[in-house]
Structure 1
Amino acid sequence: MDADLAMAKLKAAKEKYGREIRVFETVTTSQEPSEVAKNEETDEFYEFTPEDYYRLMSTKKEDKYLKTRKIREAEAAARRSRFTKAVIRIRFPDGYTLEGTFHPSESLQSIFDLLKKVLARPELPHYLYTTPPKKLVKDTSQDFFAAGFIPGAIVHFSYDMPKDAAADSVPYLLEDVISLKGLDHIPEAKTEPTESTSQSITNDPPVVTEQRKPVDKKAAKPKWLKM
């Protein structure tokens, strides 16, 4: 697809869904989308074990000194000011990944609001979770900073219904959303220097280097040396 046409399609999607979105496909050639959905890990796989706890504690770095509340608040404000967006990737069991760009001060409810617009069957009960360990996204009133989703995060989508239900037989995303797949990989067209630019470069005045006059060695000798 032509780069200009791809950018126009992404721009139209942004206007339709209210934010920048991208679509990726992560299904391997050896697995069909239905097989990926069937092979989704169970809840026991994401349980936090004692081994996970000790491994986490062993890699945790302790602060060298205690910080006052004002210092902590100042550091938190400085961190917030450095980020202007949160990039969230929502992975679906059929192998597609939807990427959306949000403002850090927005609440997590904005993710679910986007899903209502892009899902093929938004009326079916569904939920989001992070891994590992498996943790449901419940408090949708949190902003992206409070949820730890800055500068970005990967969340997983699942229907809140039995896995053998008919919901897995249809695509999770709308067809026009799936059609955005791969458009982010199209390189931008290179801009050639225009005529006005080239003229401004060639018409610049030449750099003049200052030439030093040769030093007269005879004149530089002191008078007492001539005697």
Structure 2
Amino acid sequence: MSRDIVILTPNGRRVKVHCTADTNILQLLEDVCAKQGLQPNDYDLKHHKNILDLTTTVRFCNLPNKAFLEMVEAEKKRVETNVTIGLTLNDGERLTGDFSPNISLYDLIMTLAPNELQHLKNPTISYMRQEVIGVSALKDKSLRQLGLIAGRAILRLLDKTEATQANVSSIYRRIKTEKPENDLKTSAEQTYSDSMNANELCKPGPSNNKDKTVPKILDPVKLIQKEKEQKEIKSEISKSDEIETVQNVAVHDKNSLTELQETITPCEPPQPLMTQEILERRLKIEDEVTFIGSQKAIAFMQPDGNEEELSDLPDDFYELTIEEVRKIYHELQKRRIELENTPMLTSTKREEFAQQETASKLNTYKNVVVRIQFPDNIILQGVFNPNNTLEDVQNFVKEHLQVQNKPFHIFTTPLKETLDPKITLLEAKFVPCVHMHFKWLEDNSGPPYLKEEIYSKKTTNDAAYILASKYRAPSRRKLDDSPNSSQRSSNETSGTKQSKVPKWFKK
């Protein structure tokens, strides 16, 4: 959405600048200074009493259309410094470096990740709400044009095809659907038109006209009778159509009664049959899968068909209804009241709550399902104890590798992090399940990753998912036997005993 902004210069002139919501404040200042022959490093932009941040965009400055800005002298002359850039890749790895604001995005990528650019068809840099797509656009765009002249920023390198790029050239509008009119409306319109025609016919005309028309006399009783007759005829036609459809179904299929019962009765009765089948398969799932080692290890391939991306939705889809706004408002009120009523906690209390959380997780989840995805899309799944360490997981992976002497590491995405092998799965917050990735430390090494026997003993995706849901399901232990409930009851009884009646209440 484009907008106009008026800027008052130090020489008293007002300059009108045409911009968009993604235009940087620095770009506005530089455009005005270029027109008036001023140095942009000596001035700032001021809106009412606030000095605007030059690194932000118009969208995030709360500037209305035709806003009035003023150029004021800066307290200190701005000096360009290097910008610390963190470039996030597709696999979650982040590369950092210091660059000058005048460097192009293409040169930035070539210095940080020169090998990644060769594998991308449509390299795209994403920053905030801005996207720079294509090699030519990356060469023309610099960090200064993104508003980065100091500080730190995170850029993301993507590979966006034309199919996944947003189609913003056309505006989506709501399709007009013709709604069927009611019988009363049509009859009322007919009577109105008839009366209008009758009035037109009754108007006196010139005496020279040879054709004389006789005016029609309308009877309201007859009109009401006609409307009732039309309604009765339509109801009879609809009943006859229903009888014909039922007869046709009975002729074509002998078992039509059961189908009609299924359509008339709600869909709740067949639901327990499906759950019963799933439960039976879940109980016998260990006979269906093929275990390849300890920790109930299995291997299966990731499905090739990725989920279809959501199609572009019209703008009306994102408009909130009155009920949705009320629900959001009530939730915010409830959250505010909870935050106001929560007492201040000391460090010891926080540790106690953390210990209670870990104890509750240990009571609810007895197993942890760990999945390790390899670059060839095969997934190794194992079942562990929450108290097992990440070193146990590494040893588990090492047992199934074809070459066990090669160094490797496993990590989670996004924000790829090196994990301490001494911490437990519970401390790493991997309960009840975690999805990890495998990578060789040597860049030249590649497939095969697992043993050849494992590739021949793969299980199906459905069986693997059912097995994982079986072992990561919460246990049926009762949490009422925990020591916290006994402590609370003892505290409550002691509090009631210690409560005394005040003196002024006594006689």
Output the TM-score relative to the length of structure 2. 0.26
Deviations 1:65-115 (A, max 9, x none): 245243442233122221101111101111111111101011111111111
Per the alignment, do residues 27 and 171 of structure 1 end up closer, same or farther by CA in structure 2, a change over 3 Å counting?
Answer: farther
Secondary structure at the counterpart of residue 290 of structure 2? helix
Equivalent in 102, 112, 123 of residue 394 of structure 2: 112
1:90 aligns with 2:372: yes
Of 75-84 and 152-161, deviating more is 75-84
1:159 aligns with 2:440: yes
Code of the aligned partner of 1:152: C
Secondary structure at the counterpart of residue 94 of structure 1? coil
Name the counterpart of 1:7: 287
1:121 aligns with 2:121: no
Per the alignment, do residues 71 and 18 of structure 1 end up closer, same or farther by CA in structure 2, a change over 3 Å counting?
Answer: same
Partner Cα separation in structure 2 for residue 78 and residue 175 of structure 1: 41
Code of the aligned partner of 1:108: L
Code of the aligned partner of 1:22: I
Name the counterpart of 2:304: 28
Partner Cα separation in structure 2 for residue 186 and residue 84 of structure 1: 21
Partner Cα separation in structure 1 for residue 417 and residue 394 of structure 2: 16
1:81 aligns with 2:363: yes
Code of the aligned partner of 1:20: K
Partner Cα separation in structure 1 for residue 365 and residue 305 of structure 2: 37
Per the alignment, do residues 147 and 72 of structure 1 end up closer, same or farther by CA in structure 2, a change over 3 Å counting?
Answer: closer
Partner Cα separation in structure 2 for residue 73 and residue 81 of structure 1: 12
Name the counterpart of 1:34: none
Partner Cα separation in structure 2 for residue 174 and residue 125 of structure 1: 16
Output the TM-score relative to the length of structure 1. 0.56
Counterparts of 1:19-58 in structure 2, within 5 Å, are 19-26=295-302, 28=304
**Cα deviation, residue 122, structure 1:** 1.5
Counterparts of 1:119-198 in structure 2, within 5 Å, are 119-137=401-419, 139-162=420-443, 165=444, 167-168=445-446, 170-183=447-460, 185=462
Deviations 1:30-87 (A, max 9, x none): 9xxxxxxxxxxxxxxxxxxxxxxxxxxxxxx997324524344223312222110111
The root-mean-square deviation of aligned C-alpha atoms, in Å, is 3.2
**Cα deviation, residue 20, structure 1:** 0.7
Code of the aligned partner of 1:120: Q
Q: Check the 8 A contact 1:22/1:183 in 2, yes or no.
A: no
Partner Cα separation in structure 2 for residue 124 and residue 148 of structure 1: 28
Secondary structure at the counterpart of residue 299 of structure 2? strand
Per the alignment, do residues 29 and 152 of structure 1 end up closer, same or farther by CA in structure 2, a change over 3 Å counting?
Answer: closer
Partner Cα separation in structure 2 for residue 93 and residue 186 of structure 1: 22
- Provide the identity percentage: 23
**Cα deviation, residue 124, structure 1:** 1.0
1:99 aligns with 2:381: yes
Name the counterpart of 1:51: none
Partner Cα separation in structure 2 for residue 74 and residue 28 of structure 1: 42
Per the alignment, do residues 27 and 77 of structure 1 end up closer, same or farther by CA in structure 2, a change over 3 Å counting?
Answer: closer
Q: Which has the larger radius of gyration?
A: 2
Per the alignment, do residues 123 and 72 of structure 1 end up closer, same or farther by CA in structure 2, a change over 3 Å counting?
Answer: closer
**Cα deviation, residue 29, structure 1:** 7.6
Q: Check the 8 A contact 1:10/1:20 in 2, yes or no.
A: no
**Cα deviation, residue 27, structure 1:** 6.2
Q: What stretches of structure 1 of length at least 5 have no aligned partner?
A: 31-60, 189-227
Code of the aligned partner of 1:123: N
Q: What stretches of structure 2 of length at least 5 have no aligned partner?
A: 1-280, 307-334, 467-507
Q: Check the 8 A contact 2:301/2:377 in 1, yes or no.
A: yes
Q: Check the 8 A contact 1:128/1:157 in 2, yes or no.
A: yes
Q: Check the 8 A contact 1:27/1:96 in 2, yes or no.
A: no
Deviations 1:118-161 (A, max 9, x none): 01112111111111111122x11111011111111111100001
Q: Check the 8 A contact 1:86/1:103 in 2, yes or no.
A: yes
Code of the aligned partner of 1:7: D
Q: Check the 8 A contact 2:302/2:461 in 1, yes or no.
A: no
Code of the aligned partner of 2:296: E
Per the alignment, do residues 114 and 177 of structure 1 end up closer, same or farther by CA in structure 2, a change over 3 Å counting?
Answer: same
Per the alignment, do residues 91 and 80 of structure 1 end up closer, same or farther by CA in structure 2, a change over 3 Å counting?
Answer: same
